């Protein structure tokens, strides 16, 4: 089981190395791996040279049947869970999802240690597990996102992860040395289930119902007060959005201000990233983020709204929308869950200056969407995947067969 776990982790290690090298928000990953080594050595040292630190006996666990499970029974339980994770990883394709694949492999390896070496060694290595989880690309990003905690700057991500890991390291080993006793395995699993369940319930507090579908057509370069300018799609765009069959960049200008727009037609969901990651990779600071609706021609479009700041201190409003023929959503994770059921997706990213105030920026976005929105009946006259191509679209189609084959960053 340990060998299979290491194989599963090894499959993902090149991805982790590339993320530490190239992703700004994964800055410092190598240092966290070094901390993992320090924690591993500390756990081995304490386990070997402090035999007075004991694992609680069954008599100390209370009188309930659940709490009186022997250590070998917990090991047996850990072995079955490990076998389940191995099946999940290799048979059901979890390894195709980078972060989930890594977390599944880490769970396999941790439970394999419990299965092979017992609860004493397993519990001594908890800080090692925490440091490694903090080094997993995107894990801390999503944890902070759903805990509604805003973090700005790549150095801030690194220092938050480092501080969290060091505090756990000091607290955990400090309590073990003071109490001369390891926590119970049952306490560990109970706390893990409670933490996971509580985090999931907390993250669902602000979930919204899907909105009306949205499709934008940029065939008319001038529409009412709006004038479109076609922007160049770079080779970096084609590599970064390699999973998209269509990439369009335009800037809409009116007498008041402007809106920068990116339209993507997605065929490979694994090559699409949350808009916030793209912004923070470009040195923007996200000051505010929430799920909301934009009312366009009497229809509510669900979107993710962000207030962002560039390195010069200028502030903008950014909007991210995922839409199929039936509804629109703003949450990236919800999109990933639903994307396999609905094959045809459009993704829109819109950015406009925060001038003169927030409400004006919202109304500007609504006006732009209203001007170029395709009505539902017009959209349905085209077969799925066969929409009419505008002058801009004709130039920006990237064939799935002949397009770039590079992997996502």
Residue pair 259/250 in contact (Cβ under 8 Å)? The answer is no
The phi and psi torsions of 363 (rounded to 5 degrees) equal -65, -30
Distance CA 283, CA 154 (A): 8
Long-range contacts of 17-20 (CB under 8 A, 24+ apart): 18/409, 19/137, 19/138, 20/135, 20/137
pLDDT of residue 26: 79
pLDDT of residue 246: 86
The residues pairing with 317 across neighbouring beta strands, listed in sequence order, are 307, 352
End-to-end CA distance of the chain: 31
Which among 364, 333, 369 has a CA at the least distance from the CA of 348? 369
pLDDT of residue 311: 84
298 Ramachandran zone, left/alpha/beta (phi>0; psi -120 to 50): left
Long-range contacts of 28-31 (CB under 8 A, 24+ apart): 28/157, 28/158, 28/161, 28/162, 29/135, 29/137, 31/158, 31/162
pLDDT of residue 169: 95
pLDDT of residue 149: 62
pLDDT of residue 70: 62
pLDDT of residue 152: 58
pTM greater than the 0.75 cutoff: no
Ranges of residues in the chain whose predicted pLDDT is under 70: 56-75, 92-93, 95-96, 145-156, 203-207, 268-271, 339-343, 375-409
Residue pair 266/343 in contact (Cβ under 8 Å)? The answer is no
pLDDT of residue 61: 42
């Amino acid at each position: 089981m340990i060998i299979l776990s290491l194989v599963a982790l090894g499959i993902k290690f090149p991805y982790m190395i590339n993320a530490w090298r190239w992703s700004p928000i994964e800055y410092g990953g190598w240092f966290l791996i070094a901390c993992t080594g320090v924690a591993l050595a500390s756990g081995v040292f304490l386990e070997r040279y402090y035999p007075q630190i004991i694992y609680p006996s069954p008599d100390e666990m209370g009188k309930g049947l659940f709490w009186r499970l022997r250590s070998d029974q917990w090991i047996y339980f850990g072995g079955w869970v490990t076998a389940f994770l191995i099946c999940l990883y290799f048979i059901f394709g979890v390894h195709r999802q980078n972060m989930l694949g890594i977390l599944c492999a880490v769970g396999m390896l941790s439970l394999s240690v419990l299965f092979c070496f017992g609860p004493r060694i397993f519990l001594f290595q908890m800080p090692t597990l925490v440091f490694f989880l903090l080094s997993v690309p995107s894990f801390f990003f999503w944890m902070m996102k759903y805990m509604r905690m805003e973090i700005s700057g790549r150095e801030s991500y690194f220092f938050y992860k480092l501080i969290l890991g060091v505090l756990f390291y000091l607290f955990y080993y400090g309590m073990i040395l003071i109490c001369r006793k390891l926590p119970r395995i049952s306490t560990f699993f109970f706390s893990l289930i409670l933490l996971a369940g509580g985090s999931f319930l907390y993250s669902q507090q602000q979930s919204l119902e899907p909105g009306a579908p949205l499709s934008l057509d940029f065939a008319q370069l001038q529409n009412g007060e709006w004038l479109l300018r076609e922007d160049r799609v770079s080779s970096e765009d084609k590599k970064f959005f390699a999973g998209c069959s269509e990439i369009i960049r335009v800037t809409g200008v009116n007498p008041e201000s402007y809106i920068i727009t990116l339209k993507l037609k997605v065929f490979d969901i694994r090559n699409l990233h949350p808009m916030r990651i793209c912004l923070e990779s470009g040195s923007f600071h996200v000051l505010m983020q929430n799920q909301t609706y934009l009312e366009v021609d009497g229809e509510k479009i669900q979107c993710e709204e962000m207030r962002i700041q560039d390195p010069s201190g200028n502030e903008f409003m950014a909007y991210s929308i995922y839409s199929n023929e039936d509804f629109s959503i703003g949450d990236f994770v919800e999109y990933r869950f639903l994307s396999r059921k609905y094959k045809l997706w459009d993704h829109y990213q819109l950015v406009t200056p925060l001038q003169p105030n927030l409400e004006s920026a919202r109304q500007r976005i609504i006006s732009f969407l209203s001007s170029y929105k395709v009505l539902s009946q017009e959209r349905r006259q085209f077969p799925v995947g066969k929409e009419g191509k505008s002058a801009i679209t004709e130039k920006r189609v990237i064939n799935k067969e002949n397009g770039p084959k590079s992997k996502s960053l």
